[in-house]
């Protein structure tokens, strides 16, 4: 399958960008990480401008539609029944409650509304309610996204027929480190769900979490897995671990902020036409780190006060930083030929 190329309608006239690859070796990816920081950021930013307006960021809102009581043992997750994190389980929300939150998200500037349920996989009895949520969100003029755990081929098709735009299912980390974090589902289980989503005609949202004690080679391995899929995920969330008391990773050491930015930059180089999203962990990132991430190629954020069950920067703080940086929320997203940098950018690069 050929990767579709995404661009914004405000882009300048285009010419052909570089080839999008699906055959990265681990050695090549590790070599990207090993570059001097400034060289890596320059390469990533140059690549970013070939496909996107560098001063636009796509804005999504995420709502937990069913919280807690998950049987999985993901070591980072406060929603697992295996850990005492003080989180109270909540049943699946009513449809109108979800749509009320979606209306508020649209009013605050979000263009995509994402709904997450703490399930290993959805039960068939829950599918009619979930389908109704998708249809309701789409009727509001928002893009829709869901993350419900593993899907069967039939469930993926049902969601697609309801109009679901994106399905999120993260790989989390490299195949080598994965068993240190999760034992209740396999890496292959995750890949199969992504296959079902893609085969059903939906767009894929898939990324991972950094700062869980993995090595740089594991971050390289995660990005290699994503970039070598037959079609790149249209959205690649990069989460920084949020340490929650009661989980096995509650005492994990901080990840070097520059290593996080390196991960963003390498993701941008390897998946140049995908939206790279700043997801969990933004509460711990200062304004300067956000600005570096945008320069390195991040062009999507989760927006609002809470990300599932953990804090997220206040929406007005994001908009204030956007104004200071000259960034605008992405208003409309279309499938079309990619943009190229302005001639002035190439002049500067040549010097």
To the query of whether residue 219 is one of the catalytic residues in this protein, the response is no
To the query of whether residue 77 is one of the catalytic residues in this protein, the response is yes
The DSSP letter of residue 195 is H
The catalytically annotated residue of 205, 219, 243, 268 is 205
The catalytically annotated residue of 112, 190, 277, 282 is 277
To the query of whether residue 125 is one of the catalytic residues in this protein, the response is no
C-alpha–C-alpha distance, residues 3 and 169, integer Å: 18
To the query of whether residue 205 is one of the catalytic residues in this protein, the response is yes
The catalytically annotated residue of 49, 74, 190, 262 is 74
To the query of whether residue 282 is one of the catalytic residues in this protein, the response is no
To the query of whether residue 262 is one of the catalytic residues in this protein, the response is no
Picking from 161, 304, 284, 299, the residue whose alpha carbon sits closest to that of residue 236 is 299
What separation, in Å, do the N-terminal and C-terminal C-alpha atoms of the chain show?
Answer: 38
Element at 57 (helix H, strand E): strand 56-66
The catalytically annotated residue of 114, 198, 243, 262 is 114
- Is the torsion defined by CA of 323, 325, 329, 332 positive or negative? positive
**Inter-residue contact 268 to 296 (CB < 8 Å):** yes
- Other beta carbons within 10 angstroms of residue 333's beta carbon come to 17
The catalytically annotated residue of 49, 77, 198, 262 is 77
C-alpha–C-alpha distance, residues 85 and 9, integer Å: 45
The catalytically annotated residue of 49, 70, 198, 268 is 70
To the query of whether residue 332 is one of the catalytic residues in this protein, the response is no
Q: What residues act catalytically? A: 70, 74, 77, 114, 145, 205, 277
């Amino acid at each position: 399958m050929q990767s579709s190329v995404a661009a914004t309608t405000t882009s300048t006239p285009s010419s052909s960008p570089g080839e999008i690859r699906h055959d990265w070796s681990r050695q090549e990816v590790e070599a990207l990480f090993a570059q001097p920081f400034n060289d890596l950021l320059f390469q990533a930013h140059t690549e970013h401008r070939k496909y996107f307006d560098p001063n636009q960021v796509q804005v999504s809102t995420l709502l937990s539609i069913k919280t807690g009581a998950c049987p999985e043992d993901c070591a980072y997750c406060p929603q697992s029944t295996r850990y005492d994190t003080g989180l109270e389980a909540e049943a699946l929300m009513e449809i109108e409650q979800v749509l009320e939150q979606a209306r508020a998200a649209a009013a605050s500037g979000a263009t995509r509304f994402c709904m997450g349920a703490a399930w290993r996989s959805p039960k068939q009895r829950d599918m009619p309610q979930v389908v109704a949520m998708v249809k309701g969100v789409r009727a509001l003029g928002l893009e829709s996204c869901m993350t419900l755990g593993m899907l069967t081929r039939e469930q993926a098709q049902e969601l697609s027929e309801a109009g679901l735009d994106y399905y999120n299912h993260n790989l989390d980390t490299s195949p080598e480190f994965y068993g240190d974090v999760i034992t209740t589902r396999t890496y292959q289980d995750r890949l199969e769900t992504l296959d079902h989503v893609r085969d059903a005609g939906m767009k894929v949202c898939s990324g991972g979490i950094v700062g869980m004690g993995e090595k740089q080679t594991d971050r390289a391995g995660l990005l290699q897995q994503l970039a070598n899929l037959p079609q790149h995920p249209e959205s690649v969330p990069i989460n920084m671990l949020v340490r929650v008391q009661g989980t096995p990773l509650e005492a994990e050491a901080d990840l070097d902020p520059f290593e996080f930015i390196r991960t963003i930059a390498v993701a941008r180089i390897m998946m140049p036409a995908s939206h790279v999203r700043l997801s969990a962990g933004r509460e711990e990132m200062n304004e300067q780190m956000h600005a570096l991430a945008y320069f390195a190629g991040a062009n999507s954020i989760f927006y609002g006060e809470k990300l599932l069950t953990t804090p997220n920067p206040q929406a007005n703080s994001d908009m204030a930083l956007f104004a200071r940086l000259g960034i605008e929320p992405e208003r409309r997203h279309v499938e079309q030929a990619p943009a190229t940098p302005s001639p002035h950018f190439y002049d500067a690069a040549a010097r």
